[in-house]
Amino acid sequence: MSLDRQINRIAIVGTGVIGASWAALFLARGLEVIATDPAPNAEKNLRDYIDAAWPDLISLGLSTGATRDRLSFTSNMAEALEGADLVQENGPERAEFKIKLFADMDAMTAVGTIIASSSSGIPMSVTQSACKHPERCVIGHPFNPPHLIPLVEVVGGEKTSSETIERAIAFYASIGKRPIHLRKEVVGHVANRLQAALYREITYLIEQDVLSVADADAAVSWGPGLRWGVMGPNLLFHLGGGQGGIHHFMDQFTGPMTTWWKNLGNPELTPELKEKIVAGVLAEAKDQSIDELGKERDRILLGLLGLRGSAK
Q: Are 153 and 141 a contacting pair, CB within 8 Å?
A: yes
Residue 1 scores a pLDDT above 60: no
Q: Are residues 23 and 141 in the same domain?
A: yes
pLDDT, average across residues 21-42: 97
Q: Please indicate, yes or no, if residue 296 is contained in any of the structural domains.
A: yes
Q: How far apart are CA 70 and CA 226, in angstroms?
A: 37
- Verify that 155 and 298 share a domain, yes or no: no
Asked if 32 and 176 sit in the same domain, the reply is: yes
pLDDT of residue 237: 92
- In angstroms, rounded to a whole number, what is the distance separating the alpha carbons of residues 304 and 296? 13
Domain count, the chain: 2
Residue 267 maps to which CATH number? 1.10.1040.10
Q: 224 in a domain, yes or no?
A: yes
pLDDT in tens, 163-208: 999 999 999 999 999 999 999 999 999 999 999 999 999 999 999 9
The size of the chain, in residues, is: 312
Average pLDDT over residues 107-128: 96
pTM: 0.92
Residues 171 and 216 in one domain: no
Terminal-to-terminal C-alpha distance of the chain: 34
Domain end residue (candidates: 158, 182, 206): 182
Please check whether residue 4 lies inside any domain of the structure.
no
Residue 277 has pLDDT above 70, yes or no: yes
